[in-house]
Amino acid sequence: MLLSALLALALAATGPQHAFEDWARERARAFEQGDRATSSKSPLWRERNGSGPFLVGFSAPSSLAPLIRAVSPGVCNVLTYSEPVEGISAGRVPTATGSGFLLGPEGYVVSNHHVVKDAQWMQVRLADGRLFDAELVGSDPDTDLALLHVVDGTDLPSVVLGDSDRLEVGDWVVAIGNPFGLDRSVSHGLISAKERVLGVGPLDDFIQTDALINPGNSGGPLFNMRGEVVGVNSAVISNAQGIGFAVPINMVKDLLPNLLDNGHVERGWLGMTVVEEPGKHSAQVVDVYPGGPAAAAGLRAGDRVTTINGRPVDSYLQLLRKISLLAPGTLVRMGVQRGTAAREFTARVAERPVRPAPASGPTGEIESQGDLDRLGISVSDLDAESANRLGARSPFGAWVVQVAPNGPAARAGVRLGDVVVEAAGQRVASVESFRSALAERSAGSRLTLEIERQGKPKRLVLEAP
């Protein structure tokens, strides 16, 4: 009653505002009756009453303790030593520490490459305090992943792997590891972003999270709310605050058989050139190498690759990552859109051809390249790492590494770092195909080049030398 009286006095002092007075009286009456969610003729906001429905598909998290108890046994501490075991006395102190997780009773452990890269000897300490020697099975610096094996381990716990493709921004995650040597530290947060490219390597594809990940967390697992590992934590930005990064577990799944079989990553290759198709969630094939795996499978220029082994392909970079991580000899299923028809092809991944580095003379200058010298440029085959650094749309082309001052190429506007992708109307996928295109053009004619400069296409015309 007191609230109603005060409102009435205030309204009387401000003059006739009938609509507002009606609304104010009704809200005051609802407040006195304890029902703030009572609707009015002109509501200004929405509220839920105690029996109203909550957001569909959302469950408010309570304690994470049961999840952490269930998954912690499979998380381990990785200790590395810079000297072989024979040169270390009792009471030895590890050179560095990191984290890892056990895949199964066989004793295989996933960690980061940078944790173990300089190690002469390694140990793995489990959550129950047991300590085992470990050996390196294989590692890959491009993805910062390593596979270890516990020596003479018995009754080993393990984790369960999830599906990182199903992660969404806003999903809750938990990181467990040993930051700064503090055993069994737990942090939690959200997925902040996916497919972050940080410039660490040519196959960058990081999950970003606000769960704290510090040095020592490296190699530890990132869990979802089902207790599944969805990422491998990597402290790739040591001075970051409130930002952590993890390698997606689906990338790890693709990589592990390669590391297990070869001890390092032998990059897969299909023998086709693809470009990004913005807005179409696919990668378009623009060239297929005769005799390559893609050609043998039946792919052709104009096809759009939409899936690899049932997983969607949204960009050229996704396709590059998925194929590069597969071991040569692996069968791969490709979903392809050809015109209006959806088709599926199966190819056997081959080993990426080794492209020789440009030959160097005693003075360090690149040796003569025939017609290319007359143009006043030197070129090198492009690789995935260089393509990523240059912002090129595909890892194929002729990369301009030298430009002669006042030469025909320089006068036409060719610059150091440009990538030649077409010459005289022919696709250029390598130095060899560039030379072939120059040899087949009419003598004395102008030369039209299609180049990419930081990922943007540009057409240049050179006067014939």
Write down how long the chain is: 465
CATH code of the region 371-462: 2.30.42.10
Contact 306, 282 (CB under 8 A): yes
Catalytic residue among 111, 187, 218, 315: 218
Say whether pLDDT at 439 is over 50: yes
> Which stretch, 23-27, 197-201, 286-290, has highest mean pLDDT?
286-290
Which pLDDT value is given to residue 190? Answer: 92
Say whether pLDDT at 232 is over 80: yes
- pLDDT-derived band at 368 (thresholds 50, 70, 90) equals very low
Which pLDDT value is given to residue 383? Answer: 67
End-to-end CA distance of the chain: 98
Which pLDDT value is given to residue 350? Answer: 87
Q: What is the mean pLDDT of residues 220-236?
A: 89
Local structure of 382: helix, strand or coil: coil
- pLDDT-derived band at 53 (thresholds 50, 70, 90) equals low
Q: Which of 372, 432, 430, 437 minimizes the C-alpha distance to 396? A: 430
Q: Which of 298, 377, 385 minimizes the C-alpha distance to 343? A: 298
Q: What is the mean pLDDT of residues 4-30?
A: 56
Beta carbons within 10 angstroms of residue 415's beta carbon: 14
Say whether pLDDT at 9 is over 60: no
Least confident of 32-36, 185-189, 279-283: 32-36
Which pLDDT value is given to residue 43? Answer: 67
- pLDDT-derived band at 328 (thresholds 50, 70, 90) equals confident
414: Cβ–Cβ under 8 A, 6 or more apart, which residues?
377, 400, 403, 449, 451, 460, 462
Contact 448, 460 (CB under 8 A): yes
Which pLDDT value is given to residue 276? Answer: 66
Contact 266, 351 (CB under 8 A): yes
Local structure of 49: helix, strand or coil: coil
Say whether pLDDT at 153 is over 50: yes
Which pLDDT value is given to residue 148? Answer: 94
Q: 77 to each of 117, 154, 230, 238, 312, how far by Cα in Å?
A: 16, 17, 19, 19, 35
- pLDDT-derived band at 424 (thresholds 50, 70, 90) equals confident
Q: What is d(CA 421, CA 438) in angstroms, rounded to the nearest whole number?
A: 13
Say whether pLDDT at 402 is over 50: yes
Q: What is the mean pLDDT of residues 396-419?
A: 79
Beta strand 160-161 pairing with 228-234: parallel
Which pLDDT value is given to residue 318? Answer: 78
Between 334 and 57, whose confidence is greater?
Answer: 334
Q: Which of 136, 100, 143, 139 minimizes the C-alpha distance to 236? A: 143
Local structure of 428: helix, strand or coil: coil
Which pLDDT value is given to residue 87? Answer: 47
Where exactly are the structural domains of the chain? 2-32, 71-261, 268-351, 371-462
Per the prediction, the chain carries an average pLDDT of: 77
- pLDDT-derived band at 364 (thresholds 50, 70, 90) equals very low
Catalytic residue among 99, 111, 142, 144: 144
Helices 18-32, 2-14: axis angle to 10 degrees equals 170
Say whether pLDDT at 200 is over 60: no
DSSP class per residue in 112-178:
-HHHHTT-SEEEEE-TTS-EEEEEEEEEETTTTEEEEEETT--S----EE--GGG--TT-EEEEEE-
Q: What is the mean pLDDT of residues 108-125?
A: 89
- pLDDT-derived band at 157 (thresholds 50, 70, 90) equals very high
CATH code of the region 268-351: 2.30.42.10
Q: What is the mean pLDDT of residues 277-305?
A: 81
Which pLDDT value is given to residue 223? Answer: 95
Catalytic residue among 72, 99, 111, 114: 114
Q: Is the pTM of this model over 0.75?
A: no
Fold equal for 71-261 and 268-351: no
CATH fold of 71-261 reads: Thrombin, subunit H (2.40.10)
> Which stretch, 26-30, 168-172, 260-264, has highest mean pLDDT?
168-172
For the question of residue 114 being annotated catalytic, the response is: yes
Which pLDDT value is given to residue 24? Answer: 61
CA angle 270, 274, 278 (to 5 degrees): 140
